[in-house]
Chains A and B, each alone.
Chain A
Amino acid sequence: MSMTAAHQINAGFMPLFDSAVLVAASELGFAAREGIDLTLHRETSWANIRDRIAIGHFDLAHMLGPMPLACNLGLTPLASETIVPFSLGLGGNCVTISNAVWAGMAAHGAEPDLDPARAGAALLALIRERVATGRDPLRFAVTHPHSGHNYELRYWLAACGIDPEREIEIVIVPPPFMADALATGRIDGYCVGEPWNSASVAAGTGHIVTVKAQIWRNSPEKVIGARKAWANENPEALAALLRALHHSARWCQDPANRGELAAVMAQPGFLGLPPAVQMPILTGHLQLGGGAERTIDDFFLPFDKAANFPWKSHALWFYTQMVRWGHVAHTPENLAVARDCYRPDLYRSALRPLGVALPGANSKVEGALKTATPVGATGAGLVLGPDGFFDGQIFDPDEVDTYIAGQKSAEIQG
């Protein structure tokens, strides 16, 4: 057997737990078994990842789900056309608030049960009370404007009658600084991935009030973004990598491997945090603050429920939120760019030789599945959903215009 790798791939990542599938592909030999010499480069900002992809330092990278869309829509400097052939998982984020805001919300009926509707109603009442007494708007932080965090936080607030543009302030804070910013009062709340929510709970400085998995269950988070020019020139390398990532994702999902995965991620070159702090995201069992705890179904899925399939409906939902919050104009051209960014065709053709279950469709109606549902697919044993939005809304990717028109007018009322 030849020891020479057939493909050399350079990949960037941010030190966040949801880079696990990429990290495990490198560290546990899944990439090597597919003939790939995979070199991982740890980065300090999403902007660096974007720039290094654009100038060719990286062929692909761990990215925020909406980030490749933002590149292709011309919303970022140094944009190179980026495609998404693989999703790195579903869920994983929480909304955490300060003790003071929690006390205010509790006075308005909030319970430590993560229910987005109840928490949102209490937050709305608190915000109106603060306005009446002339206090400054609450300040929330997310990690990046073009992120699942920003869009799900805004979706949750707007659906609860809170205008995220006017009734609160949203700022950008890097994930590792979130807990400190909350503890020192520079922000009142934030939406971020684990372990940066549990970090505030453990420090006694914050409460987790709701989670991504309950705002929109089984919703997209990080993806693999690949430079389109590279993908076009290296189809075999890309296909081999997608197979490696598939095996890695399945390994990451297996509860028997949690300890080993946490130990790999704990290394200084990756997450650099003790294995114990990674257990909440691996088990879905979270301390919420004040002694409350909950186990959340489908809290973070690196593999199950077709978690790695790059649904075009996920990209299109992100697009509707970019339009909604004024990040991009809704035009037929922009819609076409958004529709072409995620590439289920590449995922399917790479994995077909493995004989595994593959979704037959490129898009699905989001929010339609109320229970876990076996679906018609090539191969056997594919289960999807439930995928509901907490407010009962449905996103039909064939009705983007209607959805965009409806979301702006209906939910925000002064």
Chain B
Amino acid sequence: MVRSSLAVLVIDENRIRASIIEAGLREAGHQQVTVIHDVSGIARRIAEIEPDVIVIDLENPNRDMLENMFQLSRAVKRPIAMFVDRSDQASIEAAVDAGVSAYVVDGLRQERVKPILDMAVSRFNAFSRMARELEEVRGELESRKVIDRAKGILMKSRGLSEEAAYTLLRKTAMNQNRKISDIAQSLVTTAGLLGPAEDE
């Protein structure tokens, strides 16, 4: 099987996401993958790399600068245009929804580029899911920490056991139809305001 010889440049300020895409491209058989996080001096890099496909995240505030540069033959040897498959509106929407766009050198056939864009879209979506999950886990850890501190305050101020302190928090939360972590947060805040702090 003939390996794809396309040179792919990934421009993404997010290093983790960029490396996820890079890994995906390598798994798919693309050996010439370059990742750039910082756009300073990018014209020179593009001249060196001569990429066939450039993948850019849509959060990048330099997108207007990059698009303009791609159109100037002075800056790049071959004109580069945004990849737009007019017969496939759905894939454009999927790309914008995922937060990624692709630019290709003049004359490259659609069917050679499409798999790269699809790959970038799915990896961008996977990254967003992962970031969301990470945020949830972080939130859970935070709640657990706050509940521990609230338990500590109750144990100290009311002379309760750890189990009794937790039961009191849970009962209060149920009575007020709120989350335990919210009750714990209120308690910690109040204790902080009324001081002395529980960690003194």
Name A's B-contacting residues (CB within 8 A).
Answer: 44-48, 51-52, 55, 57, 77-78, 143-145, 171-174, 176-177, 186
Contact = CB atoms under 8 A, between A and B. Distances in A.
B115 to A, nearest CB: 20
A401 B82 CA distance: 33
Interface in B63-104: 63-65, 67-69, 81-82, 84, 89, 92-93, 96, 101
Contact of B60 (A44, A52, A143, A171): A44
A346 to B, nearest CB: 27
A151 to B, nearest CB: 14
A45 B96 contact: no
26 contacts: A44-B59, A44-B60, A44-B61, A45-B61, A45-B62, A45-B64, A46-B64, A47-B64, A47-B101, A51-B96, A52-B96, A55-B89, A55-B96, A77-B84, A78-B82, A143-B64, A144-B64, A144-B68, A145-B68, A172-B65, A172-B68, A172-B69, A173-B65, A174-B62, A176-B61, A177-B61
Interface string B110-122: 0000000000000
Nearest to A141: B65
Contacts of B101: 47, 51
Contacts of A172: 64-65, 68-69
A55 B94 CA distance: 10
Nearest to A64: B64
B92 A47 contact: no
A177 B59 CA distance: 15
- Give the interface size bracket for B toward A: 20 to 34
A77 B68 contact: no
Contacts of B92: 55, 78
A172 B64 CA distance: 7
B140 to A, nearest CB: 26
Given A44-B59, A174-B65, 4 more contacts: A47-B67, A48-B58, A77-B82, A174-B61
> Which 4 residue pairs of A and B lie closest in terms of their CB atoms, listed nearest first?
A77-B82, A45-B63, A172-B65, A172-B68
Contacts of B63: 44-45, 47-48
Contacts of A45: 58, 60-64
Contacts, number: 50
Interface of B: 40, 58-65, 67-69, 81-82, 84, 89, 92-93, 96, 101
A304 to B, nearest CB: 30
A51 B101 CA distance: 10
Nearest to B94: A55
Contacts of A44: 58-61, 63
Contacts of A78: 82, 84, 92
Contacts of B69: 172
Contacts of B68: 144-145, 172
Nearest to B62: A174
A177 to B, nearest CB: 7
B32 to A, nearest CB: 24
Nearest to B75: A171
B91 to A, nearest CB: 11
Nearest to A147: B64
A370 B89 CA distance: 50
A172 B65 CA distance: 5
A174 B68 CA distance: 12
Name the residue in A46, A51, A171, A177 with the highest tally of chain B Cβ atoms < 10 Å from its Cβ. A51
A57 B98 CA distance: 13
Nearest to A78: B84
A325 to B, nearest CB: 13
A172 B93 CA distance: 27
A11 to B, nearest CB: 17
Given A57-B96, A78-B92, A174 B64 contact: yes
A78 B81 CA distance: 11
A55 B98 CA distance: 13
Nearest to A47: B63
Contacts of B60: 44-45
Nearest to A75: B71
Contacts of A46: 64
A318 B90 CA distance: 33
A57 B62 CA distance: 21
A65 B64 CA distance: 16
A77 B92 CA distance: 11
A47 B58 CA distance: 9
B145 to A, nearest CB: 27
A73 to B, nearest CB: 14
A52 B93 CA distance: 9
A55 B84 contact: no
A171 B96 contact: no
Nearest to B82: A77
A145 B64 CA distance: 9
Contacts of A176: 61
A44 B96 CA distance: 13
Given A47-B67, A143-B64, A172-B64, A77 B96 contact: no
